[in-house]
Structure 1
Amino acid sequence: MAELLVIRHGQASFGAENYDVLSDLGRQQARAAGQWLRDMGWTPDRVVSGTLNRQIDTVAEMGFAPDREEHAGLNEYDFGSLLSARYGGAVPDLVQGDRKMHFRTLRETVFEWQRDEIAEPYETWGAFVARVEAARAFATDTDAKRVLMVSSGGVIGQLAAASLQAPAEHMMNLNLQIKNASMTRFVFSGSLFSLSEFNATPHYATPDGAKLMSYS
């Protein structure tokens, strides 16, 4: 039985002009995750990330960059474009700048997206599901026994929900729980793909490590 260990990228730059940049905290989180894996003797045989800067830089900070492969199916859904489509291009300032309002509204918007209620989205829900599945198939089509994947919360939520054959809404309920640089583990063999561990942060399990915890 092989393992697929999926890491969410470290904290990005919420509220900044360019979200797709790791914050200083995000870089610390990624380094802590990489160090914990090495301390546990867990070295990946294969490393795959999406093409977003925050994913690529997380792999680099973890210390596994030289062997990294890419698959765009691991990129996050474009929440900015979804919100813009929902509000006709005029997203309220409160939704853009207030964390609680942003994520509450995003949750409602994703549910509408899943029900095909967003007019002319940049990407349909069905297309998102298909590309995540394509990325999963790419990562697990291997003789490697330990595959490390670095992705984002929505993708990880979808991987977990699909593995459990859960209703679509569960993707977003899982998505909003996922901590930065957390670890979600699957086991796979042939057609078998099963969730083993979700949203774990053993690298934060010390008083100093607890200070690294973040969700967005």
Structure 2
Amino acid sequence: MAELLVIRHAQASFGAEDAGGYDKLSDLGHQQAEIAGRALRASGWVPDRLITGTLARQQQTLHSMGFCAAPETHPGWNEYDFHDLLHARFGGAVPDAVLGDRKTHFRTLRETLLDWQAGGCRGARETWENFTARVEAARVSATAEPVERVLVVSSGGAIGQLVAASLDAPAKQMIALNLQVKNTSMSRFIFSGTRFFLHEFNATPHFAPPEAADLLTYS
């Protein structure tokens, strides 16, 4: 069976006032991506297709991994717009602590996603149903061609949803999966025709050596 390897983008800037400020890799992020790319090449895993979403942090990750060819892009691999969801939930008055304090940020993220899944966050540019539909469309597109190995660079929310859908898990399980996804972690799926199965989730073998362990991040 063919393989779809989905990698979360490397560390991006945290605490920016808008989503655009977050959409670039940190210096550590470039280092993480370089190590991930070396690990793939060392294992002999050579992709037949390169795909990213349309976000800069995803494309920068692929480039820093050492893949310089222009990738295919599909917006279904993009992250949900958390800043837009926050503005919809709080009526534009987002508490300062949500943007500046990590603990508050991630607690609010979970609460906001639950509200979004339940039909809340009215006025947001994207509904939960539209989000899940575009992730599924991205999956179908990535697995449509008769190739053996497909490499995708995506984001935590899209990966969490892809894994949850592959397991036919409840919607709220996507949130737990989303919050576990490490920067440059590798989630592997196998597919043939309409068959699609999770094979490995959130693996970071490139951070296993002691000299690389301190490079692991979740955001």
TM score, norm. by length of structure 1: 0.98
State which drifts further: 156-165 or 63-72: 63-72
Contact 1:12 1:21 (8 Å CA) reproduced: yes
TM-aligned CA deviation for residue 211 of structure 1: 1.2
Which among 185, 190, 209 is matched to residue 188 of structure 2?
A: 185
Which among 207, 210, 213 is matched to residue 210 of structure 1?
A: 213
For the pair 1:136 / 2:136, whether they are aligned, the reply is no
Instruction: Name the structure 1 match of 2:23.
Output: 20
Distance 1:21 1:67 in 2: 18
> Which secondary structure state, in structure 2, belongs to the residue aligned with residue 63 of structure 1?
coil
TM-aligned CA deviation for residue 118 of structure 1: 1.6
Matches within 5 A, 1:118-197: 118-197=121-200
For the pair 1:55 / 2:58, whether they are aligned, the reply is yes
Distance 1:73 1:183 in 2: 18
Instruction: Name the structure 2 match of 1:113.
Output: 116
TM-aligned CA deviation for residue 208 of structure 1: 1.3
> Which secondary structure state, in structure 1, belongs to the residue aligned with residue 22 of structure 2?
coil
Distance 2:112 2:15 in 1: 19
Distance 2:28 2:8 in 1: 14
TM-aligned CA deviation for residue 16 of structure 1: 2.8
> Which secondary structure state, in structure 1, belongs to the residue aligned with residue 151 of structure 2?
strand
AA of the residue aligned to 2:98: V
Instruction: Name the structure 2 match of 1:104.
Output: 107
AA of the residue aligned to 1:158: Q
Distance 1:160 1:53 in 2: 23
Distance 2:120 2:9 in 1: 29
The alignment yields a C-alpha RMSD, in angstroms, of 0.8
TM score, norm. by length of structure 2: 0.97
Instruction: Name the structure 2 match of 1:44.
Output: 47
Task: Kindly provide the CA deviation profile for residues 78-123 of structure 1, in whole angstroms up to 9, marking residues without a partner as x.
Answer: 0001011111001000111001100110101001100102222110
Distance 1:197 1:209 in 2: 21
Contact 2:97 2:105 (8 Å CA) reproduced: yes
Distance 1:3 1:97 in 2: 39
Contact 2:16 2:99 (8 Å CA) reproduced: no
Paired residues, number: 216
TM-aligned CA deviation for residue 67 of structure 1: 4.5
> Which secondary structure state, in structure 1, belongs to the residue aligned with residue 202 of structure 2?
strand
Query: Between the two proteins, what is the percent identity of the paired residues?
Result: 64
AA of the residue aligned to 1:215: Y
Instruction: Name the structure 2 match of 1:89.
Output: 92
> Which secondary structure state, in structure 1, belongs to the residue aligned with residue 30 of structure 2?
helix
TM-aligned CA deviation for residue 127 of structure 1: 0.3
Contact 1:49 1:74 (8 Å CA) reproduced: yes
Which among 182, 199, 202 is matched to residue 199 of structure 1?
A: 202
Structure 1 unaligned residues grouped into runs of 5+: none
